[in-house]
Amino acid sequence: MMSRFIAVLSVLLSILALGACGVTAEPTSAIMISDPWVRAAVVVDAMPEEPTAMSMSQDGAMADEMDHNNAMGSTSAAYMTLRNTGDADDALIGATTDVAATVELHTVERDGDVMRMRPIKQIDLPSNGSAELKPGDYHIMLIGLKQDLQTGDSVTLTLTFQNAAPMTISAAVHQP
């Protein structure tokens, strides 16, 4: 009698253990976002067409902004650090916000003696890895601003990932 009870108990325990160990669970990603911010910018009228790249002697971010102000109306960019603390690779694949007509993921690359921005499909977030979005490097480009973005404002961004669920965050607006 007692041995049968123990047998049933051990079957139950092993079922629980299988569940707890996640034998059937897929690897998951877990995205942590820190220090999100958006560069302050004002809506300005489009300027006449000019060369689309500028010398990057001083501030790459400023060159980015002037470049885009000529080509695509007023722009800004969002920056942050993204960490994937999960055991599956992931990637940032898009973003949306109400304050800009278009949002793109960009990288910055040297082309001769100028730095150029280029849209990219994704920013990789390997398992236990991170990506830093910062001026002169990866950024979330906000194109066609619908309103001024002034220091003290905050911008709501929704980020979409290859694996993780979308995340909506609030980013403080300030100068670089």
Contact between 39 and Cu ion by CB under 5 A: the answer reads no
Of the candidate residues 141, 155, 171, 173, the single one contacting Cu ion (CB under 5 A) = 141
Query: Which range in 30-38, 48-56, 117-125, 164-172 contacts Cu ion by CB under 5 A?
Result: 117-125
Contact between 82 and Cu ion by CB under 5 A: the answer reads no
Of the candidate residues 99, 115, 117, 123, the single one contacting Cu ion (CB under 5 A) = 117
Of the candidate residues 106, 115, 145, 173, the single one contacting Cu ion (CB under 5 A) = 106
Closest approach, Cβ 47 to Cu ion, in A, equals 17
Torsion from C-alpha of 17, 18, 23, 28, nearest 10 degrees: -50
Closest approach, Cβ 89 to Cu ion, in A, equals 25
Query: Which range in 38-46, 100-108, 122-130, 160-168 contacts Cu ion by CB under 5 A?
Result: 100-108
Selection from 72, 69, 75 nearest residue 100 by Cα? 75
Check residue 112 and give left, alpha or beta (phi > 0: left; psi -120 to 50: alpha): left
Q: Coil, strand, or helix at residue 21?
A: helix
H or E segment and range at residue 54 = none
Distance CA 153, CA 173 (A): 5
Phi, psi at 13, each rounded to 5°:
-65, -40
**How much of the chain is helix, strand and coil, in % rounded to 5?**
20, 45, 35
Those residues whose C-beta lies under 8 Å from the C-beta of residue 2, and which sit 6 or more positions away, are none
Q: Which is nearer to Cu ion, 116 or 163 (CB)?
A: 116
Contact between 38 and Cu ion by CB under 5 A: the answer reads no
Q: Which is nearer to Cu ion, 9 or 118 (CB)?
A: 118
Would you tell me which residues interact with Cu ion (CB under 5 A)?
A: 106, 117, 141
